Amino acid sequence: MSDLDAYRSLYIAESRENHEIIVKNLLVLETEASETAIAEIFRAAHSLKGMSASMDFWGMERLCHAMEDVFQEIRNGKLAVSRELMDSLLIASDQIEAMLDDIECGGTGVPQNLDELEHELKRWIGKEKAGETPGPVSPAAERGATPPDDKTTQGPSGAPRYSISVQLKESCDSPNLRAMIILQNLEEVGTIEKVTPDRSTVEDGDFGHRFEVEIASDAGIDALRTIAAATDVLSATVTSVESATPPPPPAPEIRPADGRDRKPVTQPEKAERSREVKNIRVDISRLDSMMNLVEDLVINRGRITEIAREHQIKELDETLNMIGRSVSDLQAMMMDIRMIPLSHIFNRFPRTVRDIANREGKEVEFIVEGGDTELDRSIMDGLNDPLLHLIRNAIDHGIERPDVREAAGKPRKGTLLLSARRDRDNVIITVEDDGQGIDIESVRKKAVEKGLVTPDEARTLSRDEIIDFLFQPGFSTAVEITDISGRGVGLDVVRTTLESLHGKIKVESREGGGTTFELLLPPTMAIVNVMMVRINGQRCAIPIHNVAEVAGLVPGDIHTIGGRETILLRDEVMPLDRLDDMFGCSPATEILVVLQDQNRKRTIAVDEIEGQQEVVIKPLSKVVGTVRGISGVTIPGDGEVVPVLDVTSLIKET
């Protein structure tokens, strides 16, 4: 196995893709009889089994082989699909994921309950009754060898013969490994009579991404085509080869000690073939380090530009224009490299929806749209928990039970939509259900009970202000407590997480008609637009998305309420903060900046507005620690270290 250690990461990546295909199509098969879903599962399980055998992960091979046997029975119409069967298959798929985690960490991927899992799968096709109890496998089986009594792999004389032509994608990372996996899978269903070019050339990878196989097999064209059309295959054609008589048995050959067929390759032939690597896998930490270097380049570009402007050197200006374009292009390229499709987390949720709906006795149609929408990986990492919470709440306390929906004139099956789309410079993710909606009066009553507002104040609140109570810590209108929180519980954590990602959340609800949560996110957090201002002569930066407006500061509009300054601006009373504790007292503040976070506002007084800049925000160092009201620092072109205001924390203090 030491020779294959270099392919472990490739094995993990492709195995996770196959695992995802299995789970997705299992959920499809549970709701409808789909031959396409069965074929997809069969192909993915077969590919995973073949790759595991080639990597000597015999535990994974055994489990996938058992799943393959079950789906062979389903495909042949001998086994009906039921919820209990799907439960068993999904449990096996969960174990596959755990085994992949173990293999990725350097383990062998053999769980202690492997025999039990195999027994459970074989129970569905009656193999246990036939006396085929799972047990320790032989060394030959551990190496992926086929038992001698398996008729599908013997390639008996007189079996139909086929010609298979396989064209791999140019983007295939390891064409030699992919080709050898396909050949090994084909050997399990027949006898390979010829490979063109020969195996040694294929193993060396010098076959130009295309090879042909002649095979004798009883499996049939469809099965052979399924095996050949594996991952990274551009096209796979299977044609029948007419033969009046069975092919003669191959003459005895003298093979090298390693058992491999070899064909001498002349030097000119080697020179004519080139192996070009067009795709590589890069550890994400390297991309993060590269992004930090690009951010430093952006900062230093601004610094050099300031120096050139100060000294007015024409030649330096021309050079800087060229460097500036290159840095901008590099910056844009790095941003694109870090972007990941949302399908990476969206694909995790169909199984969650299925399990919760079954547990709660509800019928839910889960629709996913816009999975190809891309986000920066730093934002993607923090989205899983908020989306999971919103989805769990939608099923548990949003969508009604089938009988309740039917009585209300709704379809028995509820609809849950998870979608994503780009809107100008932002990404919008929507979680929408057609359930009972939010009971506004219940929320209003609960807010009064918790002492958040007085009864008189509660009567004057708008619908949006009442819904905003759902984001208070510990707020819930659920009558009974379950392991899945009620509509609102934990939403404070959802909002806090989104704020840490520079995002926002908006709620719309129609009583009896459902609820929509809309998440507004920036595509990246690395480089942002800020407004540069001065307070008491000191510069600070304010993220543009937190600036609602800029106005003149009129002393006559300032009032003192409850011992603190407020200002009346366009018939709206807002707190006024001069940030004296952060920047000192300024004698000449004439400008008012209105800050906004969600639907809350606050104003600050500033001396001067210098304009907008695109900057890189760096977190405060561990030596400095946490500073109230400051989210990080940036370094503009003049080299000064400028604090960036944390508008969210400032507004929460009001």
End-to-end CA distance of the chain: 63
Q: Give the number of other CB atoms < 10 A from CB of residue 369.
A: 13
**What is the pLDDT at residue 363?**
93
Distance of CA 480 to the CA centre of its chain: 33
Tokens linked to 365: 């149609």
Q: Find the helix or strand (DSSP H, E) in which 158 lies.
A: none
| pLDDT > 60? residue 12 | yes
Tokens linked to 262: 């070899």
Q: Find the helix or strand (DSSP H, E) in which 530 lies.
A: strand 527-535
| pLDDT > 50? residue 260 | no
- Spatial distance between the Cα atoms of 450 and 446, rounded to a whole number of angstroms: 6
**What is the pLDDT at residue 490?**
65
Q: Give the number of other CB atoms < 10 A from CB of residue 1.
A: 9
Ranking 108-112, 148-152, 635-639 by mean pLDDT, the lowest is 148-152
Q: Give yes or no: 502 in active site.
A: no
Sign of the CA dihedral with 219 first, then 223, 228, and 234 last: positive
| pLDDT > 80? residue 637 | no
632 three-state secondary structure: strand
Closest CA to 443 of 461, 456, 422, 416: 461
- Spatial distance between the Cα atoms of 58 and 39, rounded to a whole number of angstroms: 24
**What is the pLDDT at residue 5?**
55
Residue type present at position 108 = T
| pLDDT > 90? residue 228 | no
Half-sphere exposure of 116 (CA within 13 A, CB side): 5
Ranking 141-145, 348-352, 511-515, 572-576 by mean pLDDT, the lowest is 141-145
| pLDDT > 50? residue 255 | no
| pLDDT > 90? residue 206 | no
Q: Give yes or no: 545 in active site.
A: no
The chain-wide mean pLDDT, for the chain, equals 79
566 three-state secondary structure: strand
Residues facing residue 423 across a β-bridge: 426
Confidence of residue 299 (pLDDT cuts 50, 70, 90): confident
Tokens linked to 295: 């951010």
Closest CA to 50 of 180, 140, 235: 180
Over range 219-239, report the average pLDDT: 84
Over range 358-379, report the average pLDDT: 89
Q: Say which residue, 182 or 270, is predicted with more confidence.
A: 182
Closest CA to 74 of 21, 113, 37: 37
Confidence of residue 83 (pLDDT cuts 50, 70, 90): confident
**What is the pLDDT at residue 253?**
41
Percent of the chain whose pLDDT exceeds 90: 12
Q: Find the helix or strand (DSSP H, E) in which 595 lies.
A: strand 591-597
User: C-alpha distances in angstroms, 601 versus 230, 541, 604?
Assistant: 56, 18, 10
Residues facing residue 625 across a β-bridge: none
Q: Give yes or no: 46 in active site.
A: yes
Confidence of residue 151 (pLDDT cuts 50, 70, 90): very low
Confidence of residue 411 (pLDDT cuts 50, 70, 90): very high
- Spatial distance between the Cα atoms of 591 and 535, rounded to a whole number of angstroms: 10
| pLDDT > 50? residue 264 | no
Residue type present at position 615 = V
Non-local (6+) Cβ contacts of 283 within 8 A are none
**What is the pLDDT at residue 498?**
86
pLDDT digits (tens, 9 = 90+) for 13-51: 888 888 889 988 888 888 888 888 888 888 888 888 888
Q: Are 224 and 186 in contact (CB under 8 A)?
A: yes
Non-local (6+) Cβ contacts of 152 within 8 A are 188, 189, 190, 217, 218, 219
Q: Any idea what DSSP says for residue 464?
A: H
Active-site choice (120, 393, 432, 546): 393
Confidence of residue 519 (pLDDT cuts 50, 70, 90): very high
pLDDT digits (tens, 9 = 90+) for 172-199: 777 877 888 888 888 878 888 889 988 8
Domains and CATH numbers, the chain: 1-145 (1.20.120.160), 150-243 (3.30.70.1110), 284-340 (1.10.287), 342-521 (3.30.565.10), 527-652 (2.30.30.40)
Over range 127-146, report the average pLDDT: 38
- Spatial distance between the Cα atoms of 313 and 615, rounded to a whole number of angstroms: 25
Active-site choice (17, 20, 68, 565): 68
Q: Find the helix or strand (DSSP H, E) in which 240 lies.
A: strand 233-241
- Spatial distance between the Cα atoms of 211 and 168, rounded to a whole number of angstroms: 9
Residue type present at position 54 = S
Closest CA to 505 of 572, 73, 497: 497
CA angle 448/482/467 to nearest 5° reads: 35
- Spatial distance between the Cα atoms of 347 and 349, rounded to a whole number of angstroms: 6
Confidence of residue 397 (pLDDT cuts 50, 70, 90): confident
- DSSP secondary structure of 406-448: HHTT--SSEEEEEEEEEETTEEEEEEEE-SS---HHHHHHHHH
| pLDDT > 50? residue 427 | yes
Confidence of residue 334 (pLDDT cuts 50, 70, 90): confident
Active-site choice (19, 46, 209, 545): 46
**What is the pLDDT at residue 406?**
92
Non-local (6+) Cβ contacts of 569 within 8 A are 551, 557, 592, 594, 603
Distance of CA 390 to the CA centre of its chain: 17
Non-local (6+) Cβ contacts of 498 within 8 A are 386, 504, 505, 519, 521
Confidence of residue 429 (pLDDT cuts 50, 70, 90): very high
| pLDDT > 50? residue 486 | no
Confidence of residue 431 (pLDDT cuts 50, 70, 90): very high
Over range 430-437, report the average pLDDT: 93
| pLDDT > 90? residue 497 | no
Q: Say which residue, 426 or 621, is predicted with more confidence.
A: 426
Given the structure tokens 């202690």, which residue do they identify?
Answer: 112
**What is the pLDDT at residue 268?**
37
- Spatial distance between the Cα atoms of 125 and 127, rounded to a whole number of angstroms: 6
User: Which of 136-140, 218-222, 252-256, 605-609 tops mean pLDDT?
Assistant: 605-609
